[in-house]
């Protein structure tokens, strides 16, 4: 699975597909921030389903969003990013 510094919604969705296919177990829930590469729920409730949400739905994965104006919930995502970053020196901002 490749790591990306900056990515749009299509790269985020493909990253998730690749991540899912590389795991020997099922993912139950994903926690992301409210960035436009992950969701359009906060911007427009009448829009088509976001590609990242669709990949989650197709794979029976719950997609949770961090609470807006609650930085401690976003801290969970940032902490996992540091864990995934490990010693390889690359940054994951998805």
Q: Taking 70 as the threshold, does the pLDDT of residue 62 lie above it?
A: yes
Quick check: is 3 in a domain?
no
Quick check: is 94 in a domain?
no
Q: Compare 15 and 4 and report the one with higher pLDDT.
A: 15
* Per-position DSSP letters for 26-94, written without gaps between them: ---EEEE-S-TTT--TTT-TTSPPPHHHHHHHHTT-EEEEPPTT-HHHHHHHHHHHHHHHTTS------
Look up the pTM and report it. Answer: 0.67
The tokens for 2 are 């490749």
Please answer whether residues 64 and 31 qualify as being in contact, where contact means their C-beta atoms are separated by less than 8 angstroms: yes
Q: Compare 11 and 82 and report the one with higher pLDDT.
A: 11
For residue 38, the domain's CATH number is 3.30.420.10
Residues above pLDDT 90, as percent of the chain: 31
Number of domains in the chain: 1
Quick check: is 18 in a domain?
yes
Please answer whether residues 12 and 94 qualify as being in contact, where contact means their C-beta atoms are separated by less than 8 angstroms: yes
What is the span of the domain harbouring residue 72? Answer: 9-85
């Amino acid at each position: 699975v490749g790591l990306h510094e900056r990515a749009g919604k299509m790269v985020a969705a493909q990253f998730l597909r690749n991540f899912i296919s590389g795991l020997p177990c099922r993912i139950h829930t994903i926690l992301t921030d409210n960035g436009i590469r992950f969701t359009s729920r906060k911007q427009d409730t009448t829009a088509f389903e976001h590609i990242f949400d669709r990949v989650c739905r197709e794979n029976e994965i719950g997609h949770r969003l961090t609470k807006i104006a609650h930085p401690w919930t976003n801290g969970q995502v940032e902490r996992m990013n540091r864990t995934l970053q490990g010693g390889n020196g690359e940054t994951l901002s998805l």
